[in-house]
Chain A
């Protein structure tokens, strides 16, 4: 399966610090996306990186993609309390988007 797998499963950091989450997948993809979910609500799309891109930025978010290692990372800089959420990577292999298991991020005051 091409399912992404996030690492770590859970992460707690102090407000203001940077948070890094990783995603590994198994098969070829067209693109990889990151979503955020607050408290069991709907998911919010954060950023998409295509298979021919290596790095992408959006505000405080930085995403990298290494297709040779089949891995991606999401960096959130200068974390805030509002960043507390679950973060999912999702891989698009052409037929459908498949979501990973997620990283639960908790920002400590």
Chain B
């Protein structure tokens, strides 16, 4: 299984600012994903981070709001832009295991927007 770290673990931000979340994996992986989990809710897939090309966004999420970088096979960033209180959530990155069926998750970044 992969070991995944995220930075920051939590942050409190002001409305209108942006925050970049980093995700680091201890091994090379093909598929990396970014999820949002709003308070008391399930996980919603934001996008799949593709190495060497643009991320693939899910319905309801756009690149201008959630730009993603994937410079190599072990690292990705998600930026939450022009934040509003509705962006207060836990943001999780995950990677696919060898079988591409299961996912391994980072510890999450807890974001509060005031």
Question: Taking chain A's interface residues, is the majority helix, strand, or loop, or is none over half, making it mixed?
Answer: strand
Count of chain B residues with a beta carbon within 8 Å of a chain A beta carbon:
21
A42 to B109 Cα, complex, angstroms: 9
Name the one of A31, A41, A43, A44 contacting B43, with C-beta atoms under 8 angstroms: A43
Q: Which residue of A31, A45, A102 contacts B42 across the interface (Cβ within 8 Å)?
A: A102
| Pairwise interchain contact B45-A96, C-beta atoms closer than 8 A | yes
CB <8 Å contact, B105 and A97: no
Chain A hits for B15, CB < 8 A: none
Total chain A interface residues with beta-carbon distance under 8 A: 20
Query: Is A25 in the interface zone, CB < 8 Å from B?
Result: no
Contacts of A92 in B (CB 8 A): 101
A99 touches B101 (CB 8 A): no
B102 to A45, Cβ gap below 8 A?
A: yes
Given contacts A42-B4, A42-B106, contact A99 B90 (CB under 8 A): no
Which chain B residue has the least Cβ–Cβ distance from A43? Answer: B105
In the complex, are the beta carbons of A101 and B108 less than 8 A apart?
A: no
Measured between C-beta atoms, what is the minimum distance from B72 to chain A in Å? Answer: 22
B53 within 8 Å of A by Cβ?
no
**Proximity bits, A1-45, B CB within 8 Å = 1, else 0:** 001000000000000000000000000001101000000111111
Min CB gap A50→B, angstroms: 9
8 A Cβ contacts from A31-77 to B = 31, 33, 40-45, 48
The chain A residue sitting closest to B45, CB to CB, is: A96
CB–CB B108/A40 < 8 A: yes
Binding site for B on A (CB under 8 A): 3, 30-31, 33, 40-45, 48, 88, 92, 96-102
Residues of B bordering A, CB below 8 Å:
4, 37, 41-43, 45, 48, 58, 90, 92, 94, 97, 101-108, 110
